[in-house]
Structure 1
Amino acid sequence: MQKGCIQLYYGDGKGKTTAAIGQIVRCVGHGFKVLVYQFLKEPNSGEVSVIKSLPGVEYIENEGPIPFMFNLTPEQQEFYKEKFQKKFDEVREKYFSGEYDLVVLDEVIDAYNLGTIPKEQLHEMMDKRPEGTELVITGHQYGMDISELTNRADYVTKFVKEKHPFDLGMPCRKGIEE
């Protein structure tokens, strides 16, 4: 791949993961090698089986149920921080190997804002990106300052929700939101 860039998709609107998946499909269509990790998500979302079946894609999977971090006690949050840190260490090692053309860190902005991963480690990944690696990061902003991320990115797209059925109490629907 030519010089890689950093793409950042954030906001409360639907479509961030979908945009990242589109980028994966485009890269695979050109025979590129892709690494994908979805933070704070269980591997039962509809896109996972398709992503894992694509040639050249390595998908790092979370284990066990993943609760909403907002609903946890401080002790439970610490347990999950340690769990996610182990996965993030694995992702970072693979990322810095330089063997991937595209690395997608889905919902990493959420992990960043919730303190689930050390902010400095994500900054380092953005600042010391292997030359030919495209990095895609996604997530919600939750009203927090993410300028440390947007300033480092080459592409920044904000997804703004104007209306969503979840606001009226409709849960996530299989095949649409999950």
Structure 2
Amino acid sequence: MTDRDTRHQQSMQKLKAHVDDKVANATEERGLLMVFTGNGKGKTTAAWGTVTRALGYGYKVGVIQFIKGLWECGERERLNDDANLEVAIMATGFTWDTQNRESDTKACQEVWQEAKRMLEDPEIYLVVLDEITYMMKYGYLDVAEVIAALENRPAEQTVIITGRNANREVVAMADTVTEMQETRHAFNAGLKARRGIDF
């Protein structure tokens, strides 16, 4: 064995010991609060990936789409027939298209009632609140009410929150926070969003 091979083996042994120690210390079992935020692409896609994973194990999943509900959504189209998936859509489209605070707030409040029901249901293993960060930022939803619903949800339920500019209090209470950072985005160079790739 060369010196390089020996160093590699020693390094991997240290890494394995570190990982094994982390696994041994991870003993708490409960649902998680996860936040996918940042200005990069992929927050909703990552959430749908977790939805697919949960459905793959036969768990019940609820998804609330606060902004992009009127858009085609390839993930939703593919998974819609799964009896364990329930999707509620705000159905007003992008708030910059409607430009009507009153109607957007009303639509948001209506779909939030569905979200609250899901957040109280111990049978629902995963709840995705897609693009809810905008609803709090624009004042369509009361932040304290959202936080209370998150805090009082069933212990085994995991919640994923997506959207840019996640509320600081929500980020502080989250178990996992992933920030998608944009380095380059094709749209900014004039490339049109592609069906099956971007939506």
**Counterpart in the other structure of 1:46:** 74
Structure 1 stretches of 4+ with a deviation exceeding 6 A read none
Q: How many residues get paired?
A: 170
How many Å apart are 1:71 and its aligned residue? 5.2
When the two chains are superposed, the root-mean-square deviation of aligned CA atoms in Å is: 1.7
1:126 and 1:152 in contact (8 A); partners too: no
Question: Which protein has the larger Cα radius of gyration, Structure 1 or Structure 2?
Answer: 2
**Counterpart in the other structure of 1:104:** 128
Matched, 1:148 2:148: no
Q: Partner of 1:87: helix, strand, or coil?
A: helix
Whole-angstrom CA distance in 1 between matches of 2:55 and 2:169:
30
Whole-angstrom CA distance in 2 between matches of 1:45 and 1:153:
27
1:1-178 to structure 2, matched below 5 A, reads 2-43=29-70, 44-63=72-91, 65-66=92-93, 68-70=94-96, 72-73=98-99, 76-141=100-165, 146-178=167-199
Q: Which amino acid aligns with 1:124?
A: A
Q: Partner of 1:151: helix, strand, or coil?
A: helix
How many Å apart are 1:9 and its aligned residue? 0.4
Deviations 1:111-143 (A, max 9, x none): 2212222212221122212111011111011xx
Range with greater deviation from structure 2 (110-119 or 100-109)? 110-119
Whole-angstrom CA distance in 1 between matches of 2:89 and 2:140:
17
How many Å apart are 1:72 and its aligned residue? 4.9
1:51 and 1:59 in contact (8 A); partners too: no
Deviations 1:94-126 (A, max 9, x none): 321222010011111122212222212221122
Deviations 1:130-176 (A, max 9, x none): 111011111011xxx72111111000000000000111233322222
Whole-angstrom CA distance in 1 between matches of 2:56 and 2:172:
30
Q: TM-score by structure 2 length?
A: 0.78
1:101 and 1:134 in contact (8 A); partners too: yes
Q: TM-score by structure 1 length?
A: 0.87
Deviations 1:1-52 (A, max 9, x none): x510101100111111111111111111111110011111124222221131
Whole-angstrom CA distance in 2 between matches of 1:84 and 1:38:
10
Runs of at least 5 residues in structure 2 that lack an aligned partner in the other structure: 1-28
